[in-house]
Structure 1
Amino acid sequence: MHQLVKAPIVLVRDRLNTHASHTMRELIEARKWLTAFILPSHAPELNAVEYPWAHVKRSLANLGSVAIDRLESLIRNRLKRLQDRPDLLDGFVAGTGLALNLPPPSP
């Protein structure tokens, strides 16, 4: 990603054992362009990814009897529709209460 965007990267990770491993810490420390933050234990309200998944799951609540292949199609459709709703996605980030301060564009 860093090579693609040619900009610093911010990594927000949870406390999954592989995310907090010695190897992961070494990988992060070796990359000066990477800033990493670890979420507190059990803090789904700070993880903006939780909000779109909750939104999709609510829209599927009454579809328990749908065949698995149809369910997969419905989930893909719901996620695709979210891509066309930047206002809603911004709301999910705002719901965390965290500020999204983008770095200035590089020259």
Structure 2
Amino acid sequence: MRADAEREARIVVANAEWLTVFRLPTYAPDLNPTEGVWSLVDRGIGNLAAANLGEVTRAVKRKRSRRLHGKAAPERK
């Protein structure tokens, strides 16, 4: 984050009484279970232009299957 944007964000957070900010480490798999999915996102799913959640789900399952079994999962409609 740019220094000036970070400064502005700190001001907004400081003035927003309704907002609570928790500072977490940049990589915290114990605190964020989705950290294990990022390797899939980095390898193609990140550029997916899905029309709906079903397409995203199929793409993730296909990537996961390839990773676990070394081959593509059969397409299901």
The alignment's TM-score, normalised by the length of structure 1, stands at: 0.31
Q: Could you say which structure has the higher strand fraction?
A: 1
Compare the two structures and name the one with the higher helix fraction: 2
Higher relative contact order (CA 8 A, sep 6+): 1
Bigger Rg, structure 1 or 2? 2
